[in-house]
Amino acid sequence: MSTLYLKTNKEDISKYVIFSGDPWRVEILQKLLDAPKHIAFNREFNTYTGTYQGVPITISSTGIGAPSAAIAMEELYECGMEVAVRMGTVMGMKDDMLGKLLIPNGSMRLECTSDTYAPKGFPAVANIDLINSMNRSVILNNREYINGITCTMDGFYSQMRESRLSNKMGTDILKTFDDLDKYNIHGVDMETSLMLVLGSLMDIKTCSVTMTTVLKNLKATLEGEDRRKAEEDLCKIVLDGIIIYDREGYKYE
């Protein structure tokens, strides 16, 4: 019997799963797999399984935000997922971050979905072996990485980007960033803390690998060829990182 939303079965899913927020980034990623099999595309969830350098890997989308990411993780956990990697973009909080990889050690839980699973005192932390594998992959792919703390929020236009409504309501979006600066937060997204909490509760290995494509309040953005190349590099870095983890684990020189 297939899962409710992703329409997946245990026999379709690898123990390694890469999650992308954007279902169309999954289409870019699947082109790097050998013999990708399209499992299903239902609502915001687009899922393939194939191999990369001989290792079976499943890729699936979560849509935007923590609630749908929780559904994706729950249903692929039902199908036997053992390693989960969030692959996506992040809003950088530091001026020198544009085009760099942010691979967080942990995340500040300002979204609400993880609260339905665990109290706020429960940490959102990534698996150190996966972090090390992804760090190494970034270097091998000639990019730069940062390991720091991110913050995950629910409201894009209410917390992260000024809009007509936020201006009408007098919402001080910039105060969001001023408050986060006090805690040396490196980036803001809408999924990471939820996925790290669930990974710990599920007793699986989890991490988040994000490309900085915008700076706070979108004051600078990657565009055109730079954005396209950044997205392609992100896909290859995560795939290569899984291969490093699969073959070497934590055994580094």
| Main-chain dihedrals φ then ψ at residue 96, nearest 5 degrees | -100, 15
Bridge-based pairing state of the strands 45-52 and 34-42:
antiparallel
Q: What tens digit of pLDDT does each residue of 83-124 get?
A: 999 999 999 999 999 999 999 999 999 999 999 999 999 999
Integer Cα distance of 91 and 102 in angstroms: 10
CA distance 225 to 68: 30
Crossing angle of the two packed helices 224-248 and 23-30, in degrees rounded to 10: 70
Residue 217 contacts residue 174 (beta carbons within 8 Å)? yes
252, pLDDT greater than 50: no
Query: Sorting pLDDT into bands at 50, 70 and 90, what band is 218?
Result: confident
Q: HSE on the CB side for 145, CA within 13 Å?
A: 26
Judge contact between 11 and 49, C-beta under 8 A.
Answer: no
User: Using the 8-state DSSP alphabet, how is residue 207 labeled?
Assistant: E
CA 104 to chain CA centroid, Å, is 10
Q: What is the pTM (predicted TM-score) of this model?
A: 0.95
DSSP H stretches of helix in 31-83: 66-78
